Amino acid sequence: MSKALIIGAGGVASVVVAKCCQNSEVFSEIMIASRTKAKCDALKEKWQDKTKTVISTAAVNADNVPELVALIKEYKPDIVMNIALPYQDLHIMDACLECKVDYLDTANYEPEDTAKFEYSWQWAYRERFEKAGITAILGCGFDPGVTGVFSAYAQKHEFDEINYIDILDCNGGDHGYPFATNFNPEINIREVSAKGSYIEDGKWVETEPMEIKRVYNFKGVGEKDMYLLHHEELESLALNIKGIKRIRFFMTFGQSYLTHLKCLENVGMTSIEPIMYEGKEIIPLQFLKAVLPDPASLGPRTVGKTNIGCIFRGKKDGKDKNYYLYNICDHQECYKEVGSQAISYTTGVPAMIGAMMVLKGEWKKPGVYNVEEMNPDPFMTALNEWGLPWEEDRNPVLVD
């Protein structure tokens, strides 16, 4: 019997709300609070007659710490979940510290004016969270999130040491638009237009955007082109998993997506540098977001599957070992269940599970943690129970 404050009411938050409502024994009360209250009210309207969870809503600007503190003090949640944007992470962590309440998010902090994300800003809160006796769980979506839980599970049960991790994120879904993003367009385009990087022998190796391409045959999806990207969990996994020599992240993109992105980049539409337009300062990427389809609206039209997982290579009992853990998720099945496409679903389900882990005491430890620092076992069980069953392959095709 717990109360959760869910901040944000977009594509991922709508899945978090749906899953909390399916899990009323743990989430007996939730509040949905976001910038646009009408979106929170619409979510409440959608679920309130189908659940025992008591739902309330509020308007909040999560960049305004006093406003957040007032809301938290009034509602008195057991956990605050940041399902808004990474820009809000530090403000919400500040408010949680002031109110001594646990915190969880799905993406690490990045400053709005620099397309750069790393954990240093949030790790700097460790001591203050420890002293306050509260828990912060960072990056509890799918990637980061489940990829970290998979890594902790592989380390605990399958390997003596893991030397290589390749995280493969394949979206075989088709929404029928010439160009759209599956989660917040601004955050997505900042991520994929940045330089690529991976960690080898303890050092970052940088690549040009989309410089490294591989082709992989994904179970449930088929053969896809995938490209090496910089991704936040590389930083924490390289520290937290024993024996890592190299860790890389690949994501699939179709040729049409890449051609559109290149064109938008070439004409300056993906820039985050402010420009003057008819006497008003605008940021081209934010304007682009306004004209692109809302990811939350892609649910009914997206068909196909995602396959996201990690290939591990390392040693067990002195012998070389390879092991692949992954989940296959069907866009239309997600839509039937909660009204969202699989990218929102694969992010929202782990966020609900992570919050449940903290609320049930399984992951309750004062400080700031990445998911792989916690016991993976109850989370792995919950993935199977709550809609993201995992599969394993003990003889996977490796990525060169």
Query: Can you give the binding site for ligand NDP, defined by CB under 6 A?
Result: 7-13, 34-36, 39, 60-63, 83-86, 88, 106-107, 139, 141-145, 183-184, 187, 295-296, 343, 347
Q: Closest separation between CB of residue 145 and ligand NDP, Å?
A: 5
- As measured in angstroms, the least distance from the Cβ of 61 to ligand NDP is 5
Kindly state the smallest distance separating residue 394's Cβ from ligand NDP, in Å.
26
State the nearest-atom distance from the C-beta of 201 to ligand NDP, in Å: 27
Give the separation between CA 143 and CA 388, rounded to whole angstroms.
13
Complex with ligand NDP: residue 135 or 184, whichever CB lies closer: 184
**Residue 258 CA: distances (Å) to CA of 254, 316, 345:** 7, 40, 24
Measured from the CB atom, the residue of 293 and 366 that comes closer to ligand NDP is 293
Beta bridge partners of 320: 315
How many whole angstroms from its chain centre is CA 254?
Answer: 21
Closest to ligand NDP by CB, 314 vs 376, is: 376
CB 350 within 8 A of CB 127: no
What is the rounded distance in angstroms from the CA atom of residue 342 to the CA atom of residue 335?
8
> In whole angstroms, how close is the CB of 385 to ligand NDP at the nearest point?
19
Residue 309 token pair: 């997982």
Q: Which two tokens stand for residue 310?
A: 């990690």
Closer CB to ligand NDP, 65 or 239, in the complex: 65
Write down the least CB distance from residue 119 to ligand NDP, Å: 13
Shortest Cβ distance from residue 25 to ligand NDP (Å)? 25
Q: Which is nearer to ligand NDP, 108 or 163 (CB)?
A: 108
Element (H, E) at 278: none
Task: Give me the sheet containing 27-34, strands edge to edge.
Answer: 54-59, 27-34, 2-7, 79-82, 102-105, 135-138, 367-370
**Which residue number, 9 or 199, has a Cβ lying nearer to ligand NDP?**
9
- CA distance linking residue 351 with residue 390, whole number of Å: 16
86 vs 172, beta carbon nearer ligand NDP: 86
Q: Which residue is nearest to ligand NDP, using beta carbons?
A: 10
Any idea which residue has 């649910």 for tokens? 299
Q: Which two structure tokens, joined as six digits, stand for 228?
A: 């090496």
DSSP string, 52-73: SSEEEEEE--TT-HHHHHHHHH
- The pair of three-digit structure tokens given for residue 99, joined into one six-digit string: 């109110």
> 252, 255, 253, 256: which is closest to 169 by C-alpha?
252
Answer whether 235's CB lies under 8 Å from 202's CB.
no
> Between 285 and 314, whose beta carbon lies closer to ligand NDP?
285
Cβ 318 to ligand NDP shortest distance, Å: 35
Q: Give the containing element (helix H, strand E) for 17.
A: helix 11-22
d(CA 219, CA 223): 9
Q: How far apart are CA 144 and CA 90, in angstroms?
A: 18
Least Cβ distance, residue 231 to ligand NDP (angstroms): 10
Instruction: In angstroms, give the least distance from the CB of 266 to ligand NDP.
Output: 25
Query: Closest CB to ligand NDP among 148 and 284?
Result: 148
b/e sequence 101-112, b meaning 16+ C-beta within 10 Å:
bbbbbbbbbbee
By C-beta, is 163 or 197 nearer to ligand NDP?
A: 197
d(CA 160, CA 5): 39
